[in-house]
């Protein structure tokens, strides 16, 4: 996949382009529906599938106090788009001047530089100054500028109790609420956070459960709780892991932390990159009367994590297709 950082850098392929525009944070099942439709049209038309996206999220510039936490880093987003069959991604820097363009002016520039055969979007697509552009705007200019507008219906997670519309906002809320299973269903994969292993207090080692303390993570963290996860080391090795997200109430530690105990692993991970794929929420955080009670509960947590051995093997088989060669950027 080719990556461009300005519309003027992009040279349309001979067969033209099929374009879809959006932030694509998470590259979830709703995004996959749009990308699949666009890819099939591009294949039939002999065109290239092109994604136009923005970094950072537009709200980080327009209303920083409302900017959402990230589900994927820029590098992860590009990796997932490439694995979805995107031929080229144009990453535009989120700048006030860009978002001040009227919808028609932005569309005219897009058409000039990409020569779209089709523009593929979901039903709630908005663009241009004040988000005044819509599918109606695209359709109004389609005949004159020579492209087709293809609308992909919103995808609902009908396998979930409330059948939510699949979107980045819904996934973020599910993670904050501790509804990890629902977030994973909407993503189409286990939610992953990455970071660098830092230096902890060493308490885990003293009770027989040394932990890797994940720091510098740019991702939204799920609700404070204990989780079953798969830890992914920089060399690609995978281990089941018991993960605590949040403070350590038993030790009077109030600062939020992400601590992972890797099953069947011995070694020093400090300074190394680590990914955590969250499989299941095991229990809420709680304060224990003493260390002995805490250790007994951790014993039970680790046994629960081991019951996810089949999920470890599923993820081991799926990772190359999901994340490709840049699996832990």
Judge whether 2-151 and 191-326 match in fold. Answer: no
3-state secondary structure (DSSP) of residue 246: strand
CA distances from 163 to 154, 159, 166, 185 (A): 12, 7, 9, 11
Q: What does the DSSP assignment read for 184-237? A: HHHHTS-EEEEEEEE---SHHHHTT---EEEES--BPPPPSEEEEEEEEETTS-
Strands 88-93 and 116-121: unpaired
Looking at residue 141, its pLDDT comes to 98
Looking at residue 201, its pLDDT comes to 65
Q: Please report, for the chain, the start and end positions of each structural domain, with discontinuous segments joined by +.
A: 2-151, 191-326
State how far the Cα of 51 lies from the Cα of 20, in Å rounded to an integer: 5
Looking at the domain that runs over 2-151, which CATH code has it been given?
3.40.50.620
Helix (H) or strand (E) holding 3: strand 2-4
Neighbours of 122 (CB within 10 A): 19
- Mean pLDDT split into 10-residue runs, the chain, 329 residues: 97 95 97 98 97 96 94 96 96 96 98 97 96 97 98 93 92 97 97 92 77 94 97 93 85 72 95 97 91 93 97 93 74
Looking at residue 235, its pLDDT comes to 87
State how far the Cα of 96 lies from the Cα of 87, in Å rounded to an integer: 28
State how far the Cα of 81 lies from the Cα of 138, in Å rounded to an integer: 23
Closest by CA position to 48, among listed 21, 22, 18:
18
Neighbours of 175 (CB within 10 A): 24
- pTM over 0.75? The answer is yes
Topology (CATH level 3) of domain 191-326:
Elongation Factor Tu (Ef-tu); domain 3 (2.40.30)
- Dmax over CA atoms of the chain, in Å, equals 74
């Amino acid at each position: 996949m080719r990556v461009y950082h300005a519309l003027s850098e992009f040279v349309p392929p001979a067969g033209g382009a099929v374009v879809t525009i959006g932030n694509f944070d998470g590259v979830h099942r709703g995004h996959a529906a749009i990308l699949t439709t666009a890819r099939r049209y591009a294949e039939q038309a002999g065109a290239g599938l092109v994604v136009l996206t923005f970094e950072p999220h537009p709200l980080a510039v327009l209303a920083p106090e409302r900017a959402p936490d990230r589900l994927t880093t820029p590098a992860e987003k590009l990796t997932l788009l490439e694995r979805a069959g995107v031929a080229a991604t144009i990453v535009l820097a989120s700048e006030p001047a860009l978002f001040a363009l009227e919808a028609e002016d932005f569309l005219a520039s897009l058409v000039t530089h990409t020569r779209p055969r089709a523009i593929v979007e979901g039903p709630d697509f908005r663009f241009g100054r004040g988000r005044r552009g819509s599918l109606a705007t695209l359709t109004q200019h389609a005949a004159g500028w020579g492209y087709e507008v293809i609308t992909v219906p919103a995808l609902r997670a009908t396998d979930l109790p409330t059948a939510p519309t699949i979107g980045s906002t819904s996934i973020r809320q599910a993670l904050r609420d501790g509804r990890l299973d629902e977030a994973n269903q909407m993503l189409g994969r286990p939610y992953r956070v990455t970071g660098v292993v830092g230096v902890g207090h060493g308490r885990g080692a003293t009770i027989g459960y040394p932990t890797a303390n994940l720091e510098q993570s740019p991702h939204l963290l799920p609700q404070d709780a204990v989780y079953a996860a798969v830890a992914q080391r920089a060399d690609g090795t995978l281990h089941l892991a018991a993960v605590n997200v949040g403070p350590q109430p038993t030790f009077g530690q109030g600062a939020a932390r992400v601590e992972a105990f890797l099953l069947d692993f011995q070694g020093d991970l400090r300074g190394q990159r680590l990914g955590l794929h969250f499989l299941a929420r095991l229990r809420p955080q709680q304060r224990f009367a003493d260390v002995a009670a805490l250790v007994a509960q951790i014993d039970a947590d680790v046994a629960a994590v081991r019951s996810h051995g089949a999920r470890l093997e599923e993820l081991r088989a799926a990772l190359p297709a999901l994340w490709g060669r840049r699996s832990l950027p």
